[in-house]
Amino acid sequence: MPLELLGSSAQADDLVASTGGPHPPHASHQAHHTPPGTGGRRDVECFDCHAISRASLHATSTACSNCGTYIDLRHFDIRERTTQKIRTRGDVTVHKKGALLGTSVYCGNLIMEGMVGGSIHAQDTVSFRVSTKVLGELRCGRLIVERKCAVQCLQPVHVREVEIEGTFTGRIFASGAVRLHRHARLEGSVNAPVFSMPAGAELMAGMHIFGRASGDIPEE
């Protein structure tokens, strides 16, 4: 099994420096799915000031409690090619044969069975169920690459946590755990506090793990 750890200190420092930008994604708050028993309300992140407001699960819009920005909460199903600009904290599903060709999509959760041309800004989870290439920036709470999917991100990926069951190529900057599943394959680089991979996963990536790594990884 090819397993490379490219952990020179110079490279690690570079990676650390590059995570120190003004907008560490989702680091200043914990916007998770609403757990049960929270009275049917959910956390909603403002597009502009990134403050968290509470909104009813059934609301179709709200206003940021900090800056007053209008926040759409509708869900969108994309079933054809469109340049529609989507800026919601509802969920967006890009179905098979669907394509979002605008410059960016803002959403709560994003399910990808089709194609997105621009950058992705998801408050919660982005699930890739199809092989695709992401040309723009990808920022989200949780990134999931499902089995048999090969996803390539050309821009750095800023994320809270990552689960890879298929193949992922790109540069990951995670504030939480990066987990590979059995038969997963990761190429590129990882900067994360926690990393784990089981036997059977493949890693061809420059690694900077500033917390703990577990699994089939040689100690430095």
| Residue ranges that bind Zn ion, judged by CB under 5 A | 46, 48-49, 51, 64, 66-67, 69
What's the rounded Cα separation, in Å, for the pair 111 and 105?
12
User: Would you say 11 or 69 has its CB closer to Zn ion?
Assistant: 69
User: Would you say 25 or 166 has its CB closer to Zn ion?
Assistant: 25
- 181: DSSP letter: P
Cβ at position 89, least distance to Zn ion in Å? 12
Helices (H), 144-200: none
Cβ at position 64, least distance to Zn ion in Å? 3
Largest separation between any pair of C-alpha atoms in the chain = 53
Query: How many CB atoms are located within 10 Å of the residue 1 CB?
Result: 8
What's the rounded Cα separation, in Å, for the pair 214 and 26?
24
Handedness of CA 136, 213, 187, 114 (dihedral sign): negative
Cβ at position 143, least distance to Zn ion in Å? 24
User: Would you say 46 or 55 has its CB closer to Zn ion?
Assistant: 46
Cβ at position 56, least distance to Zn ion in Å? 18
User: Would you say 51 or 59 has its CB closer to Zn ion?
Assistant: 51
